[in-house]
Amino acid sequence: MNPVLAELHDKARAVLDPVHYDFFAGGVGDEIVLADNEAAFRRHALLPRVLRGKGNSAEFPVLISPTAFHKLAHPDGELATARAAEGTVLVSSMASTVPIADVVAAATGPVWFQLYLQPDPRVTEALVRRAEQAGCEALVVTVDSPVFGRHRRDIANEFHDLPSGLAAENMRDLAGVAGPRDIEMAAFSWQDVDRLRASTSLPVWLKGVLHPADAVLAVGHGVAGIFVSNHGGRQLDVVPAALDALPAVVKAVGGRVPLVLDGGVRSGGDIALALAMGASSVGIGRPVLWGLAADGEAGVHRVLGVLRDEFEHVLAMCGGELSHDMVVARC
Ligand SMILES: Cc1cc2nc3c(=O)[nH]c(=O)nc-3n(C[C@H](O)[C@H](O)[C@H](O)COP(=O)(O)O)c2cc1C
Ligand SMILES: CCCCC(=O)C(=O)O
């Protein structure tokens, strides 16, 4: 691992309350998927092309995936993350500890709003209005969480509530409840996606799709794009690594909408592999949390800087091009 990312992770582990460290680091069940998300990158290799000049210099194809409760990591919380994001798209969690309007105000680049559809449609509606009024540029509906994942570390640590003074700020004053309300997980259907799309002019992405048939349905229901994601190994511990689920989704979608791959991306090489396998960009979750916990805005900035620098270096080694024929198994 890049020594800067390793150093930030070590520092985060040292400074965080161990219960909060476990909340950030942990996964569901035996944490098989959590480990496999990273291991999957090690099972693939890139065959670079040579003598192609410098090729194209790509944009930095990285988004900050939504993660909850940044004030558990650092007192500045999501404000620090937003300031550090610069041009990188920040997908701000509905479970942020700073209201979405303040996150957008602190950001210098685009902010998208991650949404868990709520059983009371008035609550969902109010959240969408809040995201629109704040200036968010897209909605990302997380669809892999009909129920909460069972995180053994949190259960063992009896971590159920935020410490006093912290709250999911977007959940205040919604549909007649002064709040903050609890975020509820519930099962929804494609009709609910249609209803959401009809209720807003914002592009609607889905996050947490693994089955290619669902990706095809998502395209049919007019989504703007898809996060191929297993929620960082936090929802179901029998699914494939996110990277292993990607090829079938790429094939099924056939370029009709952009695909973000998230789960286990830790280096410029990982970014390049995901792109070569057909992702349009990648999302990163935990590395951002480690940077934030270690050093607030500056820490997140360093994480993004390292990934950008590594990615550009790998791309230069590959003649500026990444394509599917360049990916082979690492035997
Ligand atoms: C501590 C933590 C909190 C998360 N909170 C959310 C969330 O509120 N909404 C969501 O859609 N995904 C959430 N995720 C999942 C991330 O968006 C993302 O899918 C995952 O972290 C990517 O894997 P990585 O951490 O290996 O990069 C969370 C992940 C972590 C680690
Ligand atoms: C209500 C908070 C949900 C956070 C989440 O999605 C996660 O911890 O993975």
The predicted complex's ipTM stands at 0.99
The catalytic residue among 20, 74, 231, 301 is 231
Please tell me the distance from the alpha carbon of residue 262 to that of residue 54, in angstroms, as a whole number.
28
- What CATH number does residue 136 fall under? 3.20.20.70
Please tell me the distance from the alpha carbon of residue 40 to that of residue 242, in angstroms, as a whole number.
8
CA of 137 to the centre of ligand 2 (A): 22
Terminal CA-CA length for the chain: 21
> In the prediction, which pLDDT does 232 show?
98
> In the prediction, which pLDDT does 55 show?
77
> In the prediction, which pLDDT does 56 show?
73
Give the residues surrounding ligand 2 with Cβ less than 6 Å away.
68, 95, 183, 231, 234
Place of tokens 């550090």: 84
Q: Which amino acid is at 224?
A: A
Report the chain's C-alpha Rg in angstroms: 19
Dihedral pair phi/psi, residue 91, rounded to 5°: -90, 110
Ligand nearest the Cα atom of residue 147: 2
Place of tokens 């550009």: 312
Nearest to 324 by CA among 286, 283, 274: 274
Looking from the CA of residue 38, the nearest atom of ligand 1 is 26
CA of 100 to the centre of ligand 1 (A): 17
CA of 207 to the centre of ligand 2 (A): 13
Q: Which amino acid is at 97?
A: T
Q: Which residue's alpha carbon is nearest to atom 30 within ligand 1?
A: 67
> In the prediction, which pLDDT does 58 show?
73
CA of 93 to the centre of ligand 2 (A): 8
Best residue for ligand 2 mutational test, from 23, 234, 288 (most atoms within 8 Å of Cβ): 234
Looking from the CA of residue 185, the nearest atom of ligand 2 is 1
Give the residues surrounding ligand 1 with Cβ less than 6 Å away.
23-24, 37, 65-68, 93, 95, 114, 142, 207, 229, 231-232, 234, 262-265, 284-286
Please tell me the distance from the alpha carbon of residue 243 to that of residue 265, in angstroms, as a whole number.
9
Q: Which residue's alpha carbon is nearest to atom 9 within ligand 2?
A: 234
pLDDT tens, N- to C-terminus, the chain (331 residues): 999 999 999 999 999 999 999 999 999 999 999 999 999 999 999 999 999 888 776 799 999 999 999 999 999 999 999 999 999 999 999 999 999 999 999 999 999 999 999 999 999 999 999 999 999 999 999 999 999 999 999 999 999 999 999 999 999 999 999 879 999 999 999 999 999 999 999 999 999 999 999 999 999 999 999 999 999 999 999 999 999 999 999 999 999 999 999 999 999 999 999 999 999 999 999 999 999 999 999 999 999 999 999 999 999 999 999 999 999 999 8
Contact 263, 230 (CB under 8 A): yes
Q: Which residue's alpha carbon is nearest to atom 6 within ligand 1?
A: 67
Please tell me the distance from the alpha carbon of residue 185 to that of residue 281, in angstroms, as a whole number.
27
> In the prediction, which pLDDT does 179 show?
79
CA of 270 to the centre of ligand 2 (A): 24
Q: Which residue's alpha carbon is nearest to atom 1 within ligand 1?
A: 24
231 included as an active-site residue: yes
Q: How many domains does the chain have?
A: 1
Domain that holds residue 296: 3-329
Task: Give 209: exposed, middle or buried? Use CB within 10 Å, 0-12, 13-18, 19+.
Answer: buried
The DSSP code for 318 is T
Please tell me the distance from the alpha carbon of residue 154 to that of residue 192, in angstroms, as a whole number.
31
Predicted TM-score (pTM) of the model is 0.98
Which CA distances in Å does 231 have to 86, 219, 318?
Answer: 24, 20, 30
> In the prediction, which pLDDT does 54 show?
80
Tokens of 216: 């095809």
Mutual angle of helices 286-317 and 18-25, in 10-degree steps: 50
CA of 325 to the centre of ligand 1 (A): 30
Contact 78, 99 (CB under 8 A): no
